[in-house]
Structure 1
């Protein structure tokens, strides 16, 4: 991104400054003004200190993303103000042509007179040609930008020291900071949040250079960024922002490790909410029903598996997933029945069950023709009926053992048509109400629904699958297999897996856990227990300082470890008041928020 060398004199004419109403009695100025003020040649004295202002008059020729970050994170009190005014394209094009003519005329005159070439003018001519080409193609626009600094201190001696440090910092960024001598008042006003530029010391920026000036980049991280970059928090060392795009990394998976109460679910919900802003589709396995408020607030779908009145029919057929959908449902039914029985199916039982499944679909008028898949799907009771009339001992035995799921204690979830389809931009499968006896079956249904969405070739879009308290899922055989398969192949389906757990040592001690971590380009480490810090530190190659930070981190503070060794940043997760109301699980705060309207 280039800041053109020609713009020192380019577009110097400007429209007259409009007088705002902040100077009127009782206006905004009265609210911000100090009770007393002494104006000196280059500084202002106030009751609570003094200040001096500077206008940036010289800029580097090229800048990168976050190039103003050192000024924004200056440890002292430094106000940085940027005034931006767009230039009409027609005006910009006309003045660019005039400036190009001046530069080329100067170059010809030097050549005819035998003088040495003016390399500054040549660079300016090249930049002007690039800007003109960009404007002609409509790739960008030009803006007048004024950048001003105000340094604050308690007394004059401290102010002089701060001024030296700020000017040295500006010089290291190739910025020329000139004091607003005899215009100290105007310089101070220009850095107040009034939108008034009393100095009018402007420079022309193109679109890319202006975008690089905004504090929405993470100079501490070298990872690539894309269109799904979200704010993780504030860097605890530099106070700069930490932005991260998981979908721009080598893979889209992440792992969140923390002890209980460190804020891992809070951080995960915050990231999910901000990814929803980008149009990412999110699915959640929620063991403790912590994501209900998020689903209700954002218009998502909440399925409380095991709750009264909630049913989920495993025989539902999607109509957009290929010609083999019916066969895939028949094969999945064998896995589901095995989970219900609590043991693998025998070789003799598999063909009997397969025939019964197809017969149950046929009884409802459903066959291999996709046009029939929109008809009401059979229920588990229909399968049991087909098994009972199969006249085969294996079929009758399976039908007898499935009776509790049809007419017994477990029928609530399986004995009727689906009450809420798992569709939408956010789908939460809550497992809190599932009895332990059927939890493996409910988990299998949720994972199957998620996998069908992720692996659907007819509907490709960025997706995120969150498995909160993953240690619970890993205890189930099907859940462990799902995590392993998704961790290995999620990237191929434009999806990311987020594994959240508080049992870091157990996760890192298992082959599955190590595979999940190895296939996660984004690793979030929040506060750790002393008993687990050795295993976590060895697994992620943490330094002694990083280990000490994780042992003493406050709630919401953590360490972001990217795919590359240099991509590490300690951050504190931050949320707006509206976001906090949606994602907090603090019982006291939830009680205070009862009865309030939709925060978003």
Structure 2
């Protein structure tokens, strides 16, 4: 018996020792709840402190008679840390109808008493009766339902002063819409519990609302441009979603990009071009600063170098090989109109004066003589309005020079003004038959090495050549015109660019217009028209002087105006149709190395413009 007792005592001693060891071990183990929980919580009458953060809960108690859709957008999109909780409790319709009947009776009784006492009419009382009667009718017909609605907002900050500042901002936003809020005094703990995601309404401060009023409080007000198809443009800074969009699904596929130098506009456009090529889109680029050569070589594209010393030739007299019979008959006439604009540009240009008036380079008589000379020049090589003759080799500028030289009127004088393009300084590049073939997923026309006088002319001729190819062979294409402000300086080239923007959709072409000279571009009539005919716009960081101009055109809010002048590189406002978001353009390291023009960024490969 004694032996058995000794064994039991030893076992109990070992069990106690094991329990003590396990207890000591467990004291040193942290659970997941221990890791994510704040170090402490302090509850005060008008605020609470959670770890190192200060918080304060407000509740909304008053609303205007009418409230409009999107009234919460200013709160949802504010640049502050907030927790917003909305509690919606449906109420049985019969209960509401009984209460409304009693309420209407009370209101009408009050009106009768006031009338008997000879008091003046009470507009608020009459409005209340009308609202109650209208709501009764809607509920009776099943067009409306009734709810109890609670709205609570918890603010967060790093200090009490900052917390008071944020509270003032929120109350100001509410007050502008006649929505009234209060601090949940002596109920901060209940307020915190009501706004954390545990669906516990411990404040229970509610307001009666019908279906229409409740629907205006729909909280997801930030624009979302995520589509099932398209390419990734960047990250939506409102909600950290992806901006995936197909520009060819809009009413037109045109896009304008405005930014100051170094803001990332070329980076963004090259990124879009690279990603669009992956989905089968052909890309054609007019490059005035040699920024696209590296990208073209990386993807196996064609790089067309235009200069007086190069062997590349583009003939402005080329005609499109259109198949459509109606367009075929109109091809010559359309090209004659284009050539009129080109030769006005070559012979001095129709420039826009400071007062907005056009200064013509040709007189009406010279215009008429030039028109006849163009028709005769085509006729001399056998090309007439008959589409069957359009397959003959087209004339060149030297043929037009000979025609002008041997005709009467102002022809010889026009020929002398045109001579520098045939046998003079600028001869060769545009005075011979074309020797280029656009048959590549990416084609870049580099005009950097052309003289300043020739640049707008070259851009005009290249655009005309691309337009003829586009009409001849319709494919999904993107045309990028960099530094488009150079075309806006001349009335004829601005009109031609606008014509492209207006007609591009018919030929499955998306025109991207890039400029850093915002004032000149927007200041011209055609520039504004091009913006109006572009369903997509991208506004990156702007100079202070350009912000006011863009704000007027795009109807920006004060907050957007302030941001537009202070955006970091690669961030901006992205407009697509009726929606616009604050976007951050991001590239992968591989894309970064292909498209960056910043040597330091190319070495680092950090994925930012």
TM-score bracket, shorter-length normalisation: 0.5 to 0.7
Aligned 8 A contact 1:303 1:422 in 2? no
Deviation at 1:554, TM superposition (A): 1.6
| Contact residue 306 and residue 412 of structure 1 kept, 8 A | no
Match of 2:481 among 422, 442, 467: 467
**Superposed, which structure 2 residues align to 1:166-565 within 5 Å?**
168=197, 221-222=223-224, 225=227, 227=229, 229-309=230-310, 310-320=312-322, 322-342=328-348, 344-349=361-366, 352-354=369-371, 356-358=373-375, 360-361=377-378, 364=381, 366=383, 370=387, 373-390=390-407, 392-454=408-470, 456=471, 459-564=473-578
Report the Cα offset of residue 555 of structure 1.
Answer: 0.9
| Cα distance change of structure 1 residues 323 and 265 upon mapping to structure 2, 3 Å threshold | same
Structure 2 CA distance, aligned partners of 1:334 and 1:287?
A: 24
Instruction: Name the CA distance, whole Å, in 1 between partners of 2:382 and 2:222.
Output: 61
Q: SS where residue 553 of structure 1 aligns?
A: coil
- Deviations, residues 420-444 of structure 1 (Å, cap 9, x unaligned): 2345433333332221223332222
- SS in structure 2 of the partner of residue 485 of structure 1: helix
Q: Tell me how far 1:380 sits from its aligned partner.
A: 1.8
Preserved contact between residue 305 and residue 446 of structure 2 (Cα < 8 Å): yes
Change beyond 3 A, Cα 1:373–1:226 = farther
CA deviation string 1:464-520 (max 9, x = no partner): 332222222211222211233334443344333322222334444443333333333
Structure 2 counterpart SS, 1:531: helix
Q: SS at the partner of 2:307?
A: coil
Please give the per-residue CA displacement for 1:279-331, whole angstroms capped at 9, x wherever unaligned.
22333332222222223333333333335222211122332352443444444
Q: TM-score, normalised by structure 1?
A: 0.56
Pair 1:333–1:472, CA change in 2 (3 A): closer
The counterpart of 1:578, out of the listed 590, 599, 602, is 590
Q: What SS does the corresponding residue of 1:479 show, helix, strand or coil?
A: helix
| In 1: Cα distance, 2:481 partner to 2:596 partner | 18
For 2:520 and 2:557, the matched residues in 1 are separated by 22
1:266 Cα deviation after fit = 0.7
Secondary structure of 2:313's partner? coil
Distance 1:231 1:335 in 2: 38
CA drift at 1:352: 4.9
Evaluate the alpha carbon distance shift between residue 44 and residue 461 of structure 1 in structure 2; reply closer, same or farther with a 3 A threshold: farther
CA 1:575/1:402 → structure 2, altered by over 3 Å: closer, same or farther? same
The Cα shift of 1:231 comes to: 0.5
5+ residue gaps in structure 1?
1-39, 52-74, 76-163, 172-217, 594-600
Given that 1:422 and 1:449 are in contact with CA atoms closer than 8 Å, whether structure 2 keeps it comes out as: no
Contact 2:447 2:458 in 1 (8 A): yes
| Rounded Cα–Cα distance in structure 2 between residues aligned with 1:376 and 1:451 | 19
1:88-107 matches, within 5 Å, as none
**Cα 1:422/1:297, change in 2 over 3 Å:** same
Cα distance in 1 for residues equivalent to 2:410 and 2:439: 36
Give 1:573 shift.
Answer: 0.8
Q: Tell me, yes or no, if the aligned pair for 1:226 and 1:247 is still in contact at 8 Å.
A: no
1:362 Cα offset (Å): 5.2
Aligned ranges 1:15-164 → 2 under 5 Å: none
Q: 1:437 and 1:571 mapped to 2: Cα distance?
A: 38
- Return the alpha-carbon distance in structure 2 between the equivalents of residues 460 and 410 of structure 1: 33
Question: Secondary structure of 1:317's partner?
Answer: coil
CA contact (8 A) 2:225 2:244 kept: no
The offset of 1:344, in angstroms, is 4.5
Please state how far the C-alpha of 1:351 moved relative to its aligned partner.
Answer: 5.8
Give CA deviations for 1:226-264 in whole Å, capped at 9, x if unaligned.
64x111112335433221222223332222222221101
* SS of equivalent residue, structure 1 residue 381: helix
Report the counterpart of residue 11 of structure 1 in structure 2. Answer: none
Give secondary structure in 2 for the equivalent of 1:437. Answer: coil
Pick closer, same or farther for the CA change 1:169–1:557 going to 2, 3 Å: farther
Distance in 1 between residues matched to 2:307 and 2:199, nearest whole Å: 62
Give the match's secondary structure for 2:597.
coil
Deviations 1:571-599 (A, max 9, x none): 22111222222221124567999xxxxxx
Cα distance between partner residues in 2 of 1:551 and 1:237: 18
Secondary structure, aligned partner of 2:573: strand
- CA distance 1:576–1:449, shift in 2 (3 Å): same
**Higher-Rg member (1/2):** 2
Residue correspondences, number: 389
